[in-house]
Amino acid sequence: MYNEALYINADCQVQDALEFVLKTVEKINLELADDTERWLNQIFRERKAALEAMRDDPNLSNPKLDTIRQILLRYYQNDCDSRGIIFCRTRATTVALERWMKETPDLRPLKPKRLVAANAPTDKGARLFRDGHHKIIIATSVAEEGLDVQACNFVMRYEHVTNETARIQARVGNNVLNGNGGITFPRHRAGRARKPGAEYMLVTELGCGAAQRDEINRMREDLMNDAIRRIDRMDMADFTRQVRKHQHDAKLTRQLSMLGKQRELAQRNRRQPEGMHRLLCSRCSTLVCISLDIRRVENVHHVVIDEHLKTVASMRRYPKAAKHGDFDTRGKLNCRKCDKDWGVVAHYNNVLFPVLKLTNFVMEDDNGQRKCYKKWKDVPFHVEELSAEDIQRLHEEDIELIQW
């Protein structure tokens, strides 16, 4: 919560950060909170009046928002049919920016619309953007793929730099803006902005590192283009030979790495005789499941296959499912007793699985010793891969792992 509020305060308005903190604090059950949470809550209550005074101070306006306003007005004064996309780093920033634009009289006619879901390109708001009803789209990187609009003539990244691939997808130039800076015109056009003369820009605070990261991405892009040109000039037989050599070396590296992991696992199992461990809620110590009922999916996600969990967990549905590979994330998983965040609920192979977030649990062994872990690879027991037999049993016995 603290870090998120700092991000919002840096990128948006003081009132946005304060409202975020207020909403989060209201959800805290002080009866179930630990000493640290109660102490922090008390500090916030004592400082609340001072924070509210800062919210109402006109001298504490964000200069970055003033810069964005000037840029947008310049575009729409020159061309009233201009359309642009602003990419932000968090959902909370998209909410605050959309509200700020709607509350700013000379930006309100642009009818800004935020898009954050993975299926954003098919969203009604995206269609209205293409038709010109919304002049501005405010989106996170999750919504980026597929937002290609012929009439879009600028893409702005607001304190948000990812990698060289995303830069190529969005880029139509090499502009970097700051609170006092100007704009240089691009040399060429590509990516999300399709209209002739379109521009790409990064709006960032001087010294925060975003401009440097964008410059590194530019250098990586140049190296990639140079490599492509060299490949184009290569003899096909030589190219094929080198590709096969790289494939053979990569395969050998993977095999050696897998062998090393197998040996490490065998040594760890010999060092730490495996017993049954219990997974407990880190806040209220509610029993969630035992180690034998945890499975790995795609070597990344960790799910529970025992129906006991649905008696101690609650689920809050997302308005729309978010797709991650073969996983469709449907909602948040929380402790029914203390509302602690436990992870998410995801649809996989026609089964709703509770997907655990390890850092929010405590492991208890047969001797009653408790320990917290940050990574699943460090837990003192082996987690089996989810098998076809596991899924078949869940279907045949009509087992419901979470109440939908």
> What phi and psi, each to the nearest 5 degrees, are found at residue 46?
-70, -30
Average pLDDT over residues 259-280: 66
Lowest mean pLDDT: which of 69-78, 346-355, 395-404?
395-404
Residues 329, 355: Cα–Cα separation, whole Å: 9
Q: What are the pLDDT digits (tens) for 279-290?
A: 999 999 999 999
Residues 273, 325: Cα–Cα separation, whole Å: 35
Contact 195, 201 (CB under 8 A): no
Query: Does residue 180 have a pLDDT over 80?
Result: no
Q: Is 151 exposed, middle or buried (0-12, 13-18, 19+ CB in 10 A)?
A: middle
Question: Given pLDDT bands bounded at 50, 70 and 90, which one contains residue 175?
Answer: very low
Q: What are the pLDDT digits (tens) for 99-145?
A: 999 999 999 999 898 887 654 555 565 677 777 788 888 888 765 65
Q: What are the pLDDT digits (tens) for 372-388?
A: 999 998 998 889 899 88
Q: What are the pLDDT digits (tens) for 210-263?
A: 777 777 878 888 888 888 888 888 898 988 998 999 999 888 888 877 777 666
Average pLDDT over residues 178-184: 37
The amino acid that residue 82 corresponds to is S
Over 14-40, what HEC string results?
Answer: HHHHHHHHHHHHHCCCCCCCCHHHHHH
> In 203-308, where does DSSP find H-type helix?
210-233, 236-271
Q: Of all residues in the chain, what percent are helix, strand and coil, respectively (each to 5)?
A: 45, 20, 35
Q: What number of other Cβ atoms are within 10 A of residue 336's Cβ?
A: 17
Same fold, 63-228 and 278-396: no
| CA torsion through residues 203, 205, 211, 214, sign | negative
Question: Given pLDDT bands bounded at 50, 70 and 90, which one contains residue 148?
Answer: low
Task: Report pTM.
Answer: 0.53
Going by DSSP bridges, is the β-strand pair 154-158/84-88 parallel, antiparallel, or unpaired? parallel
pLDDT of residue 404: 56
| Residue-averaged pLDDT of the chain | 79
Residues 355, 381: Cα–Cα separation, whole Å: 18
Q: Is 202 exposed, middle or buried (0-12, 13-18, 19+ CB in 10 A)?
A: buried
Vertex 306, ends 300 and 309: CA angle to 5°? 90
pLDDT of residue 271: 44
| CA torsion through residues 161, 342, 334, 339, sign | negative
Question: In angstroms, how far is CA 211 from the centroid of its own chain?
Answer: 21
| CA torsion through residues 372, 373, 378, 379, sign | positive
Residues 192, 154: Cα–Cα separation, whole Å: 8
The ranges assigned to domains in the chain are 2-60, 63-228, 236-271, 278-396
Residues 203, 211: Cα–Cα separation, whole Å: 9
Domain 63-228 has CATH 2.40.180.10: no
Structure tokens at 351: 């089964």
pLDDT of residue 147: 58
Q: Is 113 exposed, middle or buried (0-12, 13-18, 19+ CB in 10 A)?
A: buried
Vertex 325, ends 305 and 168: CA angle to 5°? 155
For 82-198, where are the E strands, in sequence order? 84-88, 113-115, 136-140, 154-158, 175-177
Q: Is 250 exposed, middle or buried (0-12, 13-18, 19+ CB in 10 A)?
A: exposed
| Percent of the chain clearing pLDDT 90 (strictly above) | 19
Average pLDDT over residues 184-209: 59
Listed in sequence order, the residues at least 6 apart from 42 whose beta carbon sits closer than 8 Å to its beta carbon are none
Vertex 89, ends 85 and 91: CA angle to 5°? 85
Domain 278-396 has CATH 3.40.50.980: no
Q: What are the pLDDT digits (tens) for 71-101?
A: 899 888 888 888 888 888 888 888 899 999 9
Question: Given pLDDT bands bounded at 50, 70 and 90, which one contains residue 340?
Answer: very high
Query: Does residue 311 have a pLDDT over 60?
Result: yes
Going by DSSP bridges, is the β-strand pair 113-115/136-140 parallel, antiparallel, or unpaired? parallel
pLDDT of residue 284: 92
The residue among 400 and 312 whose pLDDT is bigger is: 312
CA atoms within 13 A on the CB side of 101: 26
